[in-house]
Structure formats: structure tokens, C-alpha cells
Amino acid sequence: MGRHPNIEVLTYTEVDSVEGEAGDFKVTLIKKPRYIIESKCTGCTTCVEYCPVKYPDQYNQEISDNKAVHVYFAQAIPLITYIDESCLYLKEKKCRICEAVCKNNAIDFNQKLEKVEVNVGAIILSSGLEPFDPKVKEEYRYGQFVNVVTSMDYERLLCATGPYQGEILRASDMKHPHKVAWLQCVGSRRVTPGENSYCSAVCCTYTQKQVILTKEHDAEAECTVFHNDIRSYGKDFERFYERAENLPGVRFFRSYVSIVKENPETQSVTIRYSTPDEGVKEEEFDMVVLSVGLNPPADVQGLANKFGIELNAHGFCKAIPSNPMETTRPGIFVSGAFQGPTDIPESVFTASAAGSQCGELLDYRRGELSKERIYPPERDVSQEEPRIGVFVCHCGANIGRIVGVPSTVEYALTLPNVVYAQEQLFSCATNSAQQISDLTKEKGLNRVVIAACSPRTLEPLFRDTLREAGINQYYLDMANIREHCSWVHAKEKEEATQKAKDIIRMSVARVCRLKPLQEFDLPVNKTALVVGGGIAGMTCALSIAKQGHEVYLVEKDADLGGTARRIHSTLDGMDVQAYLRDLVRKIYQHPLIHVYTDATIPEATGYVGNFVTKVKSDRGVTEIKHGAAVIAIGADEYKPTEYLYGKDDRVMTNLELEEQIAQGEERVMNAQSLVMIQCVGCRNEDRNYCARICCSNSVKNALKLKEINPRMDITILFRDMRTYGFSEDYYREASNKDVKFIRYEPQDKPQVEAVEEEGRRILRVTVTDYILGKKLAIDADLLSLAAAVIPSAGNKEMSLLFKVSLGPDDWFKEAHVKLRPVEFGTDGVYLCGIAHYPKHIPEAINQAYGAAGRVLTLLSHDTVTASGSVCEVDEDKCISCGACITVCTYGAIEFYDTPQGRKATVNPVLCKGDGLCNSVCPTAAISLKHFADEELLSQIDAAVGDF
Amino acid sequence: MEKELEKIEDQVRKSLADNLRKGFADRNFGDVLVVGGGISGIQAALDLGAAGFKVYLVEKAPSIGGHMAQLDKTFPTNDCSM
């Protein structure tokens, strides 16, 4: 980020005013004085050491202190200090010690507020959120009882860079809490003044995370969660909930609670709650965590005024459902939690989505102001003796607390070919990476070992660091002394230090043998293929086409529209059919979009930038060359086998009910009593996930029916009402309009039978009401089942065609659940809509634009770089057995004919370097570059050999 | 007629683009301003930067990172937030 040539990061800066219009905004920024000259500060923190002023650390939720001059947090970008208003000099013109100790003369008390004007074509508001402040309600006792903390405070307590270096301690006595309680829905789902009526959407699952982490910190801890509905509506959340719930010593209680008192001696906190069996109880806890919800950003009205945008009733950005990235002012877009309470993946893909819309607006000027990254020429070191530099990272306290870092540095210096070694607080910090690069040049290093974490996340950064130093990037090895050492040997400090030395010795041995490898550029075909013509596929296709790229849109049905053809409205009142008609028209009218309906894909080959896909339709077979592919093939509706579905025509699914409501079906309009049953076909053993949308859809149908016939009796039988986010308001509205909600337990499901009584044919639904504590029989004219959304039957085939993976429930599996939510691990293939997981239409639109944004990051380039760490075949040794071809999941190996007969060959572009083929090859004809036998054997020798 | 209009439009755009390149390259001229340096703002800036746009990313705190930088781990994989 700090190294990107096209991004200028302005921290400690706020927007003052915005003038102009889409395409031409003039924005005045106010840079606050840091009192530090950014270009001179090295982040050495000597000034912090000497600063006499202690001040509550904001980053650590004011639990611990920091100094008046400090770095915001250990991995801050930029990693430089700033001086805050607690400074003695700023307050009383005294002190100035920092000035005296700074060797770089980086302190400048003469800095003033500085106005900077920038001209831009578009603006994205990613203003985020503010955690709910429980001080606004006295009943939460926050700030009053010292052992009542917020979930944000607790997050810092859990963290290695937190106030107590990752120890969970009570502020009252600096002891580990043994009994911890979490209170859900603090500030959320409440209509009392100062709190929010909506559901904050993330608290249930973050609490489960905190429970799991607490148990990791202390296996004996007793964790109790007091909750309302558990809203595990996201992908893999249901399993996560089960994981937390099934840990020993963990209790989940469905109860409202009140914080009663603080023990005057122990400062422990008593909570009162109610149980179904034993009535009201009181219990004492060592610590109480308030699971606070999400508020709009601070001073949101000021922000809205500044940017000239409107807010919704909750103070978040006002958005229209058909384009949630659009604000009310053209050219200004919104992403992330300012759209509404939201989790990280949504924050990420709405960012890509807003980016795509900026791209549509500014496509004419793309590439005009941007720059390519330029590296110094690579030094040929192949003839030199290895000169190795070893950098040992403390990772804050993650490594340094367990491993004796200074002694490993000393040890590294004794190893052969090591000419330099040093420790670093965070090797990944911008200034540390710069230091590695500078030292590599200064000391004439030609190989580098970073002893830190797993290469999975940061290897690209350190490779880049080597490139900056003019060294081939494959002359790097990462010695993983965190995941492989400090994290698993927390209680054996001495042995851990010895092991870290062993790992470093192995790395040093390996790095000597590494070869310089070249990466190569592949051309990128500028066309995209979108598979699936539902709302997601069409939205994505249109956004790509609007940025000047040809798009082939392939749909298996005769008509475009997908599942949305059966949906008539959304909870927030969008007319889905009108929207769909308009979208289909735009698709057909766009000159760059080619639509194939009634189409199948018999074959897909190729790789990022260069795919070749065959499409079979009534026009015959078309071969499409494309650089990117988007999978948006939607999902199916579960066909229930339970509750008389298919046996009695009065039993239908939610979607069928919606269609019948839209058609004004008489038996629906005139029904006296209607029952809905939630969680049909999911949250069970066969499908261990929540289908996310059914609760809101049932509420939607119930409200529609109440609007048509207010006297209709409607009962919704549910397990947890999962109307997350703003949908909560509609749940409340339904309840206020006398829709009855009755909770059932999965082991005691409702029973349905068709009976005839006094000449009236009815469906008798029997259910246990846990509040009344007895069985109820409800006589219904109609029964609607919230049938699960299930993965499309075509998912398996599609996953094979495009070599992408499916998750445990057969949903398509994204590259990273949080940070790469709309792309696959397979380069050049992207994902959006309900093929990823069930979601509401506005969410699918968000994601579709998001996928388009990611596609553009590929298609806007002429070339893409392929890795150097790939397999190659020694033809002399190849016996043409084909074992490698069978085992390769990427289809990267083929036979070809040579004068010496048939031999295997690896397509280096498709090869992912996973090491399967070289390990099955019976004659060791295949080797994986960067993991060659001699490289690995030298590492093993170093581990077991004499030393 | 339409074709000609398109041509003129094209020329206007080109000259505007030329202006961008020549006249404003050194001044504070960018394509997109991203307000907020949390995970969403960072992603928006990275995508736009990769897609050929010049981006200003403005953050009111002394560092980018936002609230995610305060989190210890993320659900449901319990990966490190940093």
C-alpha cells in the first residue's frame, strides 16, 4: 500500500470541502500537524522513550498508556510518530525533550494546519463505522464497573500488540478472568433512545470468535454468552457457531439480562438472567464483555453536509437498492460499513464495486495519470559466493515474547556465508522493509533470510523488497519461527529459542542453493466471459462492458433473469420485475455485450489472460477467447420432502407464495390463516448452513399479505429470526402488525397434518411454544415453507471446467473469505451472486459490481506476470507414464511427441507449483523450481547433520 | 451524424486526457479520492491503482488500517487481522 506508485496516502488528514461535479471535483483537504517531518522520521521511537507524558492509548482503547509522541500502532502506515494534544510543549510551552533526542531533527513544533487542494474525477466514501458507545446507557455500567468492557476493548486484550501483550487481564487486579460473560445486542435491536433499532450484523459471530480465542488463551476458562437470536447467517458461520458452542465450559443462554452489581471486594460483576426451567437467576462473573453494535461514523451529519449527500433514517449513507454504491450526489460513491452495518468481505467487495463504478465514469482517462512501478536493474550475482543477510522479526510480541531473538541473531552470524544479521520489531513494516533493501545494497548481500512468519501472506512483500535492492526475488527464504515455533511452543521458551535457531540454520542452508528465477509476462486478452445471466451476471457484464471491454454473457435458460424472475419485491420496496426488464434491455442494447441463451459450455481451456471456452447454443458451437471469466450461475431452491410438500397443494415454498401473491391468487388473498415454517432443508445434518435470506423473505411475504388482508392470521415458526442489518426494522413492523412469531427447537419440529373439521379443510400445525411452555395447534389454510437456497446442480461441472474449488457445502469457494471474496484461487476466474452463497438482491448487485472491479484490475493491463516457481521436465528421464498428468489438478501437463517418443511437458502458466507431479514421478524427471531436491535436501541436512 | 458526434466526443476526451497528462501531472491532480483508510478504502484504492487510475487516499487517523487494524483475529477462519 505505502509502496504503490498510483496511490498517494494522506494520513492525519480530513476533507474540508468539496466543490464541482462528477468528473471534476475540487476537494480541499486539511492536513493536521503531526509536528513530525514525515520525510525525516525513521520510526526509531527514541523520542517515544524519552517523552515524559503518559496518555491513554487510543489504539488500545485507552486501556494502557502511550506517550504524547508515539507511533499510532506497531504496524502503522506510515510508520512514523506523531505528537498529540497531550504534549507538554503544545499545552504549556515546556519540555521539548523529543526535539533534543531526535538524531534526524524530525521534530517540528512550528507545523501548522495545512490546506491542500486536490482535483479528482470521482470520490469514494469509505468512512466506516463507529462502535456503539455503551456509556450512553447507564444500565450497561460501562465506565462505572471496571470489569465491564466492550468487545472492542476485549479485542485489544486478546491481541499480542494489545495493552497487556496478549494477556487477558482484569484492570481491577491484573489477574486473568476465569469466568467471562458476553452480552449480545448491546446498542442494537433496541428502540430505546440512544440505541439502534437495526441489527449490527456482526456481533453474534465476533462473540463466538472471542469465545474460541479465550479458550485458546485459557483452556479452563468458563465462557457464557447471553443472547437473543443467534444470527449465523454468513458463509461457514453456522459451523463456526457450533464449534464455539461445543467447546467445553461454554454456555449459550437465550435470555435478556441486566447487570446488577459489582462485588465491592473482588470487583466481579453480577448478572441477572432468566432460564426456562429455574426462573430468574443471578450469577457472578470475573469479567463482562458488552458485544457492542456498529454506529454510523462519528459526526455523520457533518460528513453528509460536506459531501452534499443524503443519509438514511439510521444515519448511514442513503442508497438505492438497485445500486447500493451510489450516493445521492453523482460522482460520489460509497463502500464498506457506511452503507450499513457490514462484515469485512462486504466491505472489500463493495470497495471493488465502487471502484468499478468510478471506472465506468472515468474510463476515458484511465492510464493517463498512473505510473508503472520501476525496479532497479537486477544484479547478476550467480558468480559470487553467497553473502547472506538474516533478519529476525519480533512480530511485536508474537515471536519476541517466546523466542530469544537477540541470541538467534548472534547465532545466525556464526553460520556459514552469513555476513550480516539483525533483529527487527516488525519486518513487514514499511520502514523495516526499506531497511532490508538498503542493507542488502550497502552490505553487498546477495541472499536474504527473513526469520518471521509463514510465507503465505508476506513473501510477496519481501520478494518485492529484494527486487528493490536489485537482487533476484527468488534469492529469498522465509524461516517460519512464528507459526512453526513461537505460537506452538508458548510454554517452552528455551526450547523454542533453540528451535528457532534450527529453523534459521535450515533456511540459511537452503538459501545458498536457491537459483535466480525469471518471471514472465503473458499477454492479456481484453474480453470477458460471464457465465450466468441472472441479476449478478448481467450487472457484472454491464459494468465491464461500460469500461470498454467486450463481454460474452452465457445463460443456460431461454431467457435472462435467473432466480430474480420469480422475485417481485425486496423488503425495502424495490420493484424487482421492473428493474429486471430495464437491466435485460440494457444488456441487449449494449454493443459490446454478446448474449448466448439456451447455452451450455462443453469445454473450457486456457489460463489467466488467455482462456478459450466453447459455447454451444442454437447458433452452433462458438469458440470464445477471453482474458477473464466470471462465474455467476446462481443457485437452486430446495424441493422440500417434509411438511406435506408435494402431497398437498396448500403447502408451498416461500418463492411459490411470493409468485401467488404477485398474481393475486384468490386462495392466498382470502386465506384466514397462514403459517410459515423456517429453516426447511438447511441448518441440518445434510446442509449445515443457514440460507441467509429466508427469514427476511418470510417477513416480506407476511407484510405484503398483511397489507392486502390485515385480518389474516399469520404465524411464523422459526429457530432464530435472522433479519440481520436494517431488515430488523421490518421484523419489528411485522410483529407490530400482529404477525405471530413462535420459536421451535430442531429436535422438536412442528408437525403438519391435513384434517377436515366442520366441513372446513385445514392444515393443522402443532408446535411447542417455549414461552407459554405448552403445545399449540394452529389451523391454517395455507402453509409456506422457507425452503433453503441450495447450490446449483451445475456447480460441480463448472468447478471442473474452470478448475475452481467448491467448499464443504458445494458453494463456490473464494480465494480468501475476507480479503479476496470475489475471486478464485485460480487466476483470472471471478465469482459473484448466489453461486457464492445465498444473498439478497442488493447484496448480489454489490458483489457483481465488485467482481467487475476485480476483472478490470486484470483486463486494464496488457500483460500479466506468471510465477517463476514452476515445474519442468527432464525429457531424458521421462518414461511417458502419465502419472504427472493424472495428478495435476490444473491440467498443466500434457504429452507431446519428440523424436525420442512421447514426453510430458509443463505449461508454466498453468502450473501453480503445488509439487504434486514431481513427487509422483517415478523417475524424478520432474522438478519444481525453487523447491528442487538439492535445495530441500540441504535444508534437511542442516536440520539433522553435524553442527 | 451520430458517428461524427462520437468522433467529436472522442476528440474532446482525448484532448482532456492530454491536458491531464501534460498540464496537471505535477499538480495535485488525480482520478479518484478515497475517503477513509480502513479495509474498504484500502481495497478501493488498491483496485483503482491497479486498474490504471491515480488515487488519493485520505485518512483522518495518523495511520491507515481503520477498525480492522484493531481486531486481533477475523472470523470464521481466525486469521490474523494484520
Taking only the tens place, the pLDDT of each residue in A283-295 is 999 999 999 999 9
The mean pLDDT value for A447-466 works out to 91
Collect all residues of chain A within an 8 Å Cβ-Cβ radius of residue B64.
1, 9, 11, 77
CA of A2 vs chain B CAs: smallest distance (Å): 10
CATH class for the region spanning A33-112: alpha beta
The CA angle B67-B68-B72, to the nearest 5 degrees, is 115
The mean pLDDT value for B48-76 works out to 93
Q: What is the pLDDT of residue A103?
A: 82
pLDDT in tens, A160-187: 889 998 899 999 999 999 999 999 999 9
Radius of gyration, CA atoms only, chain B? 19
- Check whether residue B48 and residue B70 sit in a common domain: yes
Does the structure show a pLDDT above 90 at B24?
Answer: no
All CATH 3.50.50.60 domain ranges of chain A, comma separated, are: 130-295, 528-634+792-863, 637-788
Any A CB within 8 A of B72 CB: yes
The architecture in CATH of the region A388-513 reads 3-Layer(aba) Sandwich (3.40)
Chain B residue closest in CA terms to A33: B62
Grid cell at residue A306: 460536506
Q: What is the pLDDT of residue A396?
A: 74
Reply yes or no on domain A528-634+792-863 having CATH 3.50.50.60.
yes
Collect all residues of chain B within an 8 Å Cβ-Cβ radius of residue A59.
69-70
- Check whether residue B41 and residue B78 sit in a common domain: yes
Does the structure show a pLDDT above 90 at A278?
Answer: no
- Check whether residue B42 and residue B75 sit in a common domain: yes
Q: Per-residue confidence at B23, pLDDT binned at 50, 70, 90?
A: very low
pLDDT above 90 as % of chain A: 87
Does the structure show a pLDDT above 70 at A308?
Answer: yes
Reply yes or no on domain A637-788 having CATH 3.50.50.60.
yes
CATH of domain A130-295: 3.50.50.60
- Check whether residue B79 and residue B41 sit in a common domain: yes
C-alpha to C-alpha distances, A682 to A60, A201, A635, A716, A840, nearest whole angstrom: 40, 20, 14, 17, 17
Does the structure show a pLDDT above 90 at B17?
Answer: no
- ipTM reported for the complex, 2 dp: 0.88
Between chains, do B67 and A1 touch, taking CB under 8 Å as contact?
no
Collect all residues of chain B within an 8 Å Cβ-Cβ radius of residue A544.
none
Domain region containing B39: 31-82
Chain A residue closest in CA terms to B59: A11
Look over chain A and give the mean of its residue pLDDT values, rounded to a whole number.
Answer: 95
- Check whether residue B55 and residue B80 sit in a common domain: yes
- Check whether residue B53 and residue B82 sit in a common domain: yes
Look over chain B and give the mean of its residue pLDDT values, rounded to a whole number.
Answer: 80
All CATH 3.40.50 domain ranges of chain A, comma separated, are: 388-513
- Check whether residue B42 and residue B79 sit in a common domain: yes
pLDDT in tens, A18-34: 999 999 999 999 999 99
- Check whether residue B22 and residue B35 sit in a common domain: no
d(CA A829, CA A855): 8
pLDDT in tens, A370-427: 888 889 999 999 899 999 999 999 987 779 889 999 999 999 999 999 999 999 988 8
pLDDT above 70 as % of chain A: 99
- Check whether residue B20 and residue B38 sit in a common domain: no
- Check whether residue B69 and residue B47 sit in a common domain: yes
Does the structure show a pLDDT above 80 at A119?
Answer: yes
CA of A358 vs chain B CAs: smallest distance (Å): 8
Q: Per-residue confidence at A804, pLDDT binned at 50, 70, 90?
A: very high
Between chains, do A72 and B37 touch, taking CB under 8 Å as contact?
no
Q: What is the pLDDT of residue A429?
A: 77
Does the structure show a pLDDT above 60 at A84?
Answer: yes
Count of the separate structural domains present in chain B: 2
Residues paired with residue A622 on neighbouring β-strands, in sequence order? A615
Pick the closest to residue A942 from A511, A517, A515 (CA basis): A511
Does the structure show a pLDDT above 70 at B4?
Answer: no
Does the structure show a pLDDT above 70 at B13?
Answer: no
CA of B31 vs chain A CAs: smallest distance (Å): 5
CA of B4 vs chain A CAs: smallest distance (Å): 18
Q: What is the pLDDT of residue A685?
A: 93
Q: How, if at all, do strands B79-80 and B73-74 pair?
A: antiparallel
Q: What is the pLDDT of residue A891?
A: 83
Helix intervals (H) in A676-753: 694-708, 728-736
Structure pTM? Answer: 0.89
- Check whether residue B72 and residue B36 sit in a common domain: yes
Q: Which residues contact A622 (CB under 8 A, 6 or more apart)?
A: A596, A614, A615, A616
Cβ proximity of A405 and A424 under 8 Å? no
Q: Per-residue confidence at B3, pLDDT binned at 50, 70, 90?
A: low
pLDDT in tens, A563-622: 999 999 999 999 999 999 999 999 999 999 999 999 999 999 999 999 999 999 999 999
pLDDT in tens, A680-710: 999 999 999 999 999 999 999 999 999 999 9
Instruction: Tell me whether residue A896 is exposed, middle or buried, using C-beta atoms within 10 angstroms of its C-beta: 0 to 12, 13 to 18, 19 or more.
Output: exposed
Any B CB within 8 A of A6 CB: yes
pLDDT in tens, A816-863: 999 999 999 889 999 999 999 999 999 999 999 999 999 999 999 999
Q: What is the pLDDT of residue A182?
A: 98
Which of the following CATH numbers is that of domain A869-929: 3.30.750.24, 3.30.70.20, 3.90.550.10, 3.40.50.11540? Answer: 3.30.70.20
